[in-house]
Amino acid sequence: MYRMTYQWIGSTVLAFIASILIGNYWNNWPVDLSALYFAAHFYQIGAHDLVYAPGGEMFWKHAPAEWQALAAAHGRPDALVPAFVYPPIWAKLLGPITQHVGFIAFSNIVLVLFVLSLVASISLSFAIGRRLVAENHGKMPSFLIWCVIGGYAAGFTSVGALSLQLLQPQIIVTFLLILMLFLLLSGNDILAGATLALAAAIKLMPAMLVIFLVMERRWSALAAFIAIGIMLGLGSVLVVGWPLHQALIDRLASLDSEILVSRLSIGVELVLYHLHQLWQGSVIWQINQPSMVDQPAVNAFLSRFVFVLGLLGVWLLTRVAPIITRMWTRFLGVYLLVVVSSPLAWLHYLLLPILMIPAIIGVWNKRWLHVLLIVIGALMSLPVFLWLVDVFWAGYVQVYLHFGLAVAFLLLSLRVATHRPADLIQGLR
């Protein structure tokens, strides 16, 4: 009776938060989505050389005149328009829409879809968390409390608010990855592998989660991922042609020798780069605008070393954990290690862990843990983020803060795997 009541109230709260988010960002100009729409427009009119940044670069400091003119045609001549960095199939598929639907109307449609994806992600993460807590003989927070926490995380933290402000496709990728874990826990390995393949077709980074499948020896899911991935890849080449795929590959290759310098970066490469600069006596803390800088060779080696060492640690610390705990921890652990080791380690990649990590309250119910999560929630709040943006010297302060939060999430998830409640230990004897 009480559980049903909490579910109804929780669903109502979630619907209320969703309506607020849609209202807040309705008729907004989402910067990241504009890159997808503009690239699709140029593909549709046959200007394929304008789909990606010119000169083989991944990004640009100033958008080409044709992109600026298109922004002006949609009423925003002063808009910031980033380069398109996604697989070219999406430019092909969305191309016809750009000829019939204006950018703002298109953005509103995508906004509704993304908010619904966030609602689904919150609900799925609750279902996963409930299994995790039950296996550890804990007490899961009510669905109402979970919806309040999830709604705050999705809409009012720096991670959630920026994702919605930009209409970052990472929102959809987050939903697909959480769905993949839910399907694996439910024994639907084929669908799980197919879901991961779809996520990797939107952004390439999720493909690295095959490491998680290998750790878990989920060979059916791995086979499904490979099969569906090959089908999607070949289909993309057949539909779009090879030149645009080669253009994307060339731009991705350039990232191996460069580091993204941005307030929104959470990557270990940038942290190592700044520490190296400090060691050499260059005390620079401000980041005026995002840029790409040459990466010292030692940084690339150290980043890969941290990644491999981290994976080894995740595997070793989870070997004897119960199955759901082991999978939950390995999923989050591998994901976070992939993210912080990525050349493009953006802040919005933390959307997935902030939706899933609250489940540890039910597993490990300690007062200091509640205080820690409240502090983390406050540090990730949008007001704190905006305040630091206005502090000119705090660029790297934000980098260290967000990187530290990613490390904290990793350590907390690993603690779940090594935590053994007394009644669980007694049951294993």
Helix (H, G, I), strand (E, B) or coil at 258: strand
Cβ–Cβ < 8 Å for 255, 244: no
Per-residue confidence (pLDDT) for residue 420, from 0 to 100:
61
At residue 165 the predicted structure's pLDDT band, cuts being 50, 70 and 90, is very high
Per-residue confidence (pLDDT) for residue 429, from 0 to 100:
40
Q: In what helix (H) or strand (E) does residue 292 lie, and over which residues does it extend?
A: strand 291-294
- Under 8 Å CB-to-CB from 242, ≥6 apart: which residues? none
Question: What burial letters (b/e) apply to 191-217, b meaning 16+ CB within 10 Å?
Answer: bbbbbbbbbbbbbbbbbbbbbbbebbe
Q: What is the mean pLDDT of the chain?
A: 91
Nearest to 198 by CA among 164, 174, 162: 174
pLDDT for 219 beyond 50: yes
Annotate 155-196 with DSSP letters as a single string: HTBHHHHHHHHHT-THHHHHHHHHHHHHHHHTT-HHHHHHHH
423 vs 14, higher pLDDT = 14
- The Cα 371–Cα 382 span in angstroms is 19
At residue 425 the predicted structure's pLDDT band, cuts being 50, 70 and 90, is very low
Per-residue confidence (pLDDT) for residue 418, from 0 to 100:
86
pLDDT for 208 beyond 90: yes
Highest mean pLDDT pick, 247-261, 279-293, 300-314: 300-314
- The Cα 402–Cα 385 span in angstroms is 10
Cβ–Cβ < 8 Å for 293, 259: yes
Indicate the number of domains in the chain: 1
Per-residue confidence (pLDDT) for residue 428, from 0 to 100:
39
- Under 8 Å CB-to-CB from 244, ≥6 apart: which residues? 48, 51, 52, 88, 91
| Ranges 75-84, 131-140, 318-327: which has the least confidence | 75-84
316 vs 59, higher pLDDT = 316
- The Cα 85–Cα 132 span in angstroms is 36
Helices then strands, counting H and E runs in the chain, come out as 21, 2
Per-residue confidence (pLDDT) for residue 421, from 0 to 100:
54
Per-residue confidence (pLDDT) for residue 351, from 0 to 100:
97
- Give the residue numbers spanning the domain of 148: 2-428
Mean pLDDT of 366-373: 89
pLDDT for 422 beyond 70: no
At residue 278 the predicted structure's pLDDT band, cuts being 50, 70 and 90, is confident
- The Cα 298–Cα 345 span in angstroms is 19
Question: What burial letters (b/e) apply to 45-56, b meaning 16+ CB within 10 Å?
Answer: eeebebbbbeee
- The Cα 353–Cα 335 span in angstroms is 9
- Under 8 Å CB-to-CB from 111, ≥6 apart: which residues? 22, 25, 26, 28, 30, 164, 167
Q: In what helix (H) or strand (E) does residue 259 lie, and over which residues does it extend?
A: strand 258-261
pTM above 0.85, yes or no: yes
At residue 95 the predicted structure's pLDDT band, cuts being 50, 70 and 90, is very high
pLDDT for 294 beyond 90: no
